[in-house]
Amino acid sequence: MIKVVVAGAAGRMGGEVCKAVLSEPDMSLVGAVDVSSVGSDVGELLGRGTLGVTITDELEACLKEKSAQVMVDFTHPSAVMQNIRTALKCGVHAVVGTTGMSETDLAEIKSLVEDGPANVVVAPNFAIGAVLMMKLSEIAAKYLPDVEIIELHHNQKADAPSGTALKTAQLIAGLRSKETSRSPVEKETVKGVRGGKAEDIHIHSVRLPGLVAHQEVIFGGVGQTLTIRHDSIDRSSFMPGVLMAIREVEKRKGFIYGLDKLMGL
Ligand code: NAP
């Protein structure tokens, strides 16, 4: 039985993770951490009746008291690094879905795991379909170097662009030859209208109520376009990937970045 503590348990993703863990026969939800809803029973929050797992804001104490094996973090860019440091200090593996971490943060995680017994999996997108979207984009980029990314998320998302858009840009950047179509005199008459750039690829971030997590990677070629689109229409879409990571993190020594590595892609 894998003993799991969920950080961000009162949030949208954290709540979904709690439900998913509760329904797995080889996992046990032993703790729930959040800065909101402290003292509430997580089962009550999920509409499942009392479960005896109370939300606390003391991550370290929770990990130690419950003898946790895996911490799952879906919190906030401002909180995630401290949570990872705490988990590793306690010898607890971390599965991290929170986005908005910097390259410096990722380098710190890499060096922290070298010194201790616990491993870390960070995935900017736990939806298996989104990972395939990125893989298919890598294939397309070899043949169609002109590409832009549109990512669309709900209006409460804290960071922009999304971690998935950034990861897609990084993956594509190394594979494509020089793009062909850009006008040498392109001028924005409305500032920012062409989006932002990562890895020299335009990214456009849409934030609207009603959306969950969506991305289009649009390739343009002579007389044709190719659009690779993935839609997470419900947060449950991320759960098979999260559960895979909870099961795998103990076996994968060190720091793994991206669900694609766990999927063997
Ligand atoms: P959310 O609903 O705001 O949930 C985050 C929860 O974490 C909130 O209850 C928040 O409390 C709490 N929190 C903040 N600081 C904390 C701390 N130090 N310790 C414990 N809990 C803390 O956000 P969400 O929509 O669930 O998204 C969470 C993260 O997951 C975001 O970074 C999002 O981009 C990411 N995400 C990743 C994937 C993926 O596949 N990797 C998919 C979807 C979302 P307050 O509200 O009081 O701040």
Ligand 1 center–CA 73 separation, angstroms: 8
Which residue's alpha carbon is at the smallest distance from atom 13 of ligand 1? 75
Q: How confident is the model at residue 185 (pLDDT cuts 50, 70, 90)?
A: confident
Cβ–ligand 1 contact at 232 (below 6 Å)? no
Going from the Cα of 145 to the center of ligand 1, the distance in angstroms, rounded, reads 35
Residue 192, pLDDT > 70, answer: yes
Q: Which CATH superfamily is domain 128-232 in?
A: Dihydrodipicolinate Reductase; domain 2 (3.30.360.10)
User: Residue 177 — very low, low, confident or very high, per pLDDT cuts 50/70/90?
Assistant: confident
Q: Tell which one of 5, 13, 133, 164 to mutate to probe ligand 1, the residue whose CB is within 8 A of the most ligand atoms.
A: 13
Atom of ligand 1 nearest to the CA of 36: 47
Nearest CA to ligand 1 atom 19: 34
Whether 84 lines ligand 1, by a CB cut-off of 6 Å, is no
User: From ligand 1's centre to the CA of 97, what distance in Å?
Assistant: 9
Q: Encode pLDDT of 42-82 as tens digits.
A: 999 999 999 999 999 999 999 999 999 999 999 999 999 99
Average pLDDT estimate for 95-120: 95
8: CA distance to ligand 1 center in Å? 5
- What does the pLDDT average to over 26-38? 98
Ligand 1 center to 130 CA (angstroms): 19
Report the catalytic residues. 153, 157
Pocket test for ligand 1, best of 36, 37, 74, 78 (most atoms within 8 A of CB): 74
Q: Whose CA is nearest to atom 37 of ligand 1?
A: 97
CA 101 – ligand 1 centroid, Å: 13
* Residue percentage of the chain with pLDDT more than 90: 91
Nearest atom in ligand 1 to the alpha carbon of residue 7 is 20
**Sequence ranges of the domains in the chain:** 2-122+235-263, 128-232
pTM value > 0.85:
yes
Res. 141: pLDDT tops 70: yes
DSSP letters along the chain, please?
-EEEEEETTTSHHHHHHHHHHHT-TTEEEEEEE-SSSTT-BHHHHTTS---S-BEES-HHHHHHHTT-SEEEE-S-TTTHHHHHHHHHHTT-EEEE------HHHHHHHHHHHHHSS--EEE-S---HHHHHHHHHHHHHHHH--EEEEEEEE-TT--SSS-HHHHHHHHHHHTT--------TT---SSTTTT-EEETTEEEEEEE-TT--EEEEEEEEETTEEEEEEEEE-SGGGGHHHHHHHHHHTTTS-SEEESHHHHHT-
Q: Is the pLDDT of residue 181 over 70?
A: no
Q: What is the mean pLDDT of the chain?
A: 95
Which ligand 1 atom minimizes the distance to the CA of 157?
34
Atom of ligand 1 nearest to the CA of 242: 40
Average pLDDT over residues 230-255: 96
Does pLDDT of 174 surpass 90? no
The pLDDT value given to residue 178: 75
Of 35-49, 93-107, 178-192, 216-230, where does mean pLDDT reach its minimum?
178-192
Q: Looking at residue 246, what is its pLDDT? A: 98
Question: Fold match between 2-122+235-263 and 128-232?
Answer: no
Top CATH class of 2-122+235-263 equals alpha beta
